[in-house]
């Protein structure tokens, strides 16, 4: 798969050091929505993300199949927010 397009704003890709690390990052960065675009073969990561969201401030978790699906979901929310933080 080619490099996916990333949404406007800040995007975090990569490991967090488990559920506790993800919770810490969500709190420190004041993330209000977690979008899980984890591939199906990494179900443990999606489970960890759901647990982390329950233990931290995000107002919701959106699960999508891939980054392109995330972009499709985000498009209406980003309308008129060019250059925003995307958080």
For every residue of 25-73, DSSP letters joined together read HHHHTT---EEE---GGGHHHHHHHHHHHHTS--S-EEE-SSHHHHHHH
Other CB atoms within a 10 A radius of the CB of residue 58 amount to 19
pTM attached to this predicted model: 0.62
Which phi and psi (to 5°) does residue 60 adopt? Answer: -175, 165
pLDDT digit string (tens) for 4-49?
677 677 777 778 888 899 888 888 888 878 888 888 788 888 888 8
pLDDT at 78 over 60: yes
Spatial separation of the C-alpha atoms in residues 26 and 87, rounded to whole Å? 10
């Amino acid at each position: 798969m080619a490099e996916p397009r990333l949404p406007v704003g800040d995007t975090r890709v990569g490991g967090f050091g488990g559920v506790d690390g993800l919770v810490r990052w969500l709190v420190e960065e004041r993330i209000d929505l977690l979008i899980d675009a984890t591939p199906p073969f990494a179900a443990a990561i999606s489970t960890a993300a759901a647990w982390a969201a329950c233990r931290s401030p995000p107002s919701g978790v959106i699960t999508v199949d891939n980054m392109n699906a995330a972009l499709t979901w985000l498009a209406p929310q980003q309308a008129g927010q060019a250059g925003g933080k995307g958080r």
